[in-house]
Structure 1
């Protein structure tokens, strides 16, 4: 069923509010995607520990004069990142890392406002489609949880080791992606049918989206352990396709989470898995799914793998690393859209 046909099936009185809500949710999803990319940039530039306090309300105001900047810098000096890594950093150097983390946090607050205010307006006007209220509440609560999880992550780098826990970093990334997918799914559902569509019937497209999600989480572990800064060759790794030392740690399963070699190897294998599954998905759905979506899937996967290889070979420069993070979001977006297309056809 085409988008136009599904829209026509909505009752006329409900079609316009559903479409307006869909555009609003698309905008929020875009902001969350931007948040993920800026979060990756914050990690790549080691800016995430520059703000050592969590002030959800008053923290929206940055230092406004020299005295306030000095006070903020003095707080930073009390923590391990300055004492063990950035000792001797100037005030100007501190400002350069502060602003990126500040923008990251400010964007999080902006997303909360952009989500909450229209939701309240739609709610009070009685323009929320049947069954959608609980999803909007869940999205809002997940967003609040993401802010708390972000601070929980930052706290792990303010104790002894001036680096955040790679487990908490990956959890923070995973929740952001979950929120993004949830909001995107809701927007696609509203614009196409005026109600939330179940994910049942997604088949191989659903499997692809799950594998892509897992692969991005694998990338979170890579980033958290700085695993992209070693074994910077491709297609071989340490001179072999399957290098020695993948299971040297005990117990064996800990290698998948804490052995830098194993974590990078898993991410490489995950990329090959995503590429293979994307090709199979495109072939199996030929004639059954939107041609544009299938072509977009193959294109973004190919570009993303190229970016991943280039990022590795060049020892993770900030520009390439950021593009790779953004590419991951595009691959996930395409996979979710394809899953939604299949679910829509199954529900028709």
Structure 2
């Protein structure tokens, strides 16, 4: 056994990654609040270092407000509605918290990774996997600003495509953190073979990803407001849809069709998750229960969110449980990958 192997601390690293995964769940939830409160465009500049400090004086606050007054969201929506400085501060703080959490997650990954690497505590074959997770956080920050930039010049909101990329990247990061942490935990128990993706977990992951993508589009287009009834929309099973620019355009832009696809593709995802959870149950009952619980609660929250006209607290919980569902899926997929 090499000196590096002796000094490796896989259990410690696994706990570290689980902690960061919890932080990602928190930031995904805060991101949902930021979207629901229309706070995402309140900070109109990207300052990776200086942006960590909020306005510290009345003059600083006024300067930030003046920058916000130049963008279409204020000119066309909030300005005519009478937004004052105090109202601006509310949306500013939510976006500021969201960005600080992103910075904190980056530091929580990069700094310990550097320390662990210097002290040779990283097991062989894991450094580049961990480095990839750090790189993904940096990429996520870039996607976040790219998303915000889409709403600063001609639009009154951000691009729903860019919002989807931003959210889905965070959820992929969450899955990667949990998967790697579980590999490290298994290594600490003497199992050196990393888990691999099985066919059923892979297909379930693709189906779940489509549902998450549609959910992000629903959020970006405020398509949750397209209907407050379930299972019918506008008194019909299939709502009226604008097909004047073709089906592909409608399927990616029309809020009624996207809402409809999100509510019914959910059942395809449920079917796939049930099949996967049944396999998982044979070897890891708690992981199976986690999958069943997550998608069951998520379905109920989704229906409740629609029927209450996107009530704020229900919508936030819907996003939170969506992240927990990804975590449960990663746990179950890893379980299958260890036994294959």
For the aligned pair, the TM-score class normalised by the smaller chain equals over 0.9
**Equivalent residue, structure 1, for 2:141:** 147
Cα deviation digits, residues 52-94 of structure 1 (max 9, x gap): 0000000011111111111111111111111111113111111
Q: Quote the residue 2:270 is aligned against.
A: 275
Q: Which segments of 5 or more consecutive residues in structure 2 lack a partner in the other structure? A: none
Aligned equivalent of 2:20: 28
Q: Are the aligned partners of 2:240 and 2:256 in contact in 1 as well (CA < 8 Å)? A: no
Which of 304, 307, 313 is the equivalent residue of 2:301? Answer: 307
Alpha-carbon offset, residue 213 of structure 1: 2.4
Measure the CA separation in 2 of the matches of 1:123 and 1:16: 10
State whether residues 166 and 225 of structure 1, in contact with CA within 8 Å, keep that contact through their aligned partners in structure 2.
yes
Distance in 2 between the 1:98 and 1:196 partners? Answer: 47
* Cα deviation digits, residues 199-231 of structure 1 (max 9, x gap): 23x232332233222211110000111110012
- 8 A Cα contact 1:131 1:196, kept in partner: no
Aligned to 2:116: 122
Structure 1 unaligned residues grouped into runs of 5+ = 1-10
Q: Residue in 2 aligned with 1:241?
A: 237
Q: Which residue number in structure 2 is paired with residue 251 of structure 1?
A: 246
CA offsets 1:243-268 (integer angstroms, 9 cap, x no match) = 343x7143322221111111011101
> Which residue of 194, 197, 200 maps to 1:197?
194
Among candidates 184, 208, 211, match of residue 215 of structure 1? 211
Aligned to 1:319: 313
Question: Once the 2 structures are TM-superposed, how far is the Cα of residue 16 of structure 1 from its aligned partner?
Answer: 6.3
CA 150–298 in structure 1, closer or farther in 2 if over 3 Å, else same: same
1:337: how far off? 0.4
SS in 1 for 2:70: coil
CA distance in 2, matches of 1:258, 1:211: 20
Shift of 1:310: 0.4
In structure 2, the residue matched to 1:7 is none
Q: Distance in 2 between matches of 1:299 and 1:14?
A: 40
CA contact (8 A) 2:8 2:123 kept: no
RMSD: 1.9
**1:123, CA displacement in angstroms?**
0.4
1:343 equivalent to 2:340? Answer: no
Instruction: Provide the rounded CA distance (Å) in 1 between the counterparts of 2:193 and 2:176.
Output: 10
Counterpart among 161, 164, 173 of residue 167 in structure 2: 173
Of stretches 26-35 and 272-281 in structure 1, the one that deviates more from structure 2 is 272-281
User: Helix, strand or coil: the match of 1:307?
Assistant: helix
8 Å contact 1:186–1:196 — kept in the other structure? Answer: no
1:100 and 2:90 are equivalent in the alignment: no
Distance 1:109 1:273, change over 3 A: same
Structure 2 SS opposite 1:71: helix
Across the two proteins, how many residue pairs are aligned to each other? 333
Displacement after TM superposition at 1:37 (Å): 1.0
Give the counterpart of 1:54 among 46, 49, 57: 46
**Cα distance change of structure 1 residues 252 and 40 upon mapping to structure 2, 3 Å threshold:** same
Q: Judge conservation of contact 2:27–2:101 (CA < 8 Å) in 1.
A: yes
CA distance in 2, matches of 1:184, 1:276: 23
Q: How far apart in 2 are the matches of 1:309 and 1:185?
A: 30
Tell me the TM-score normalised to structure 2 length. 0.93
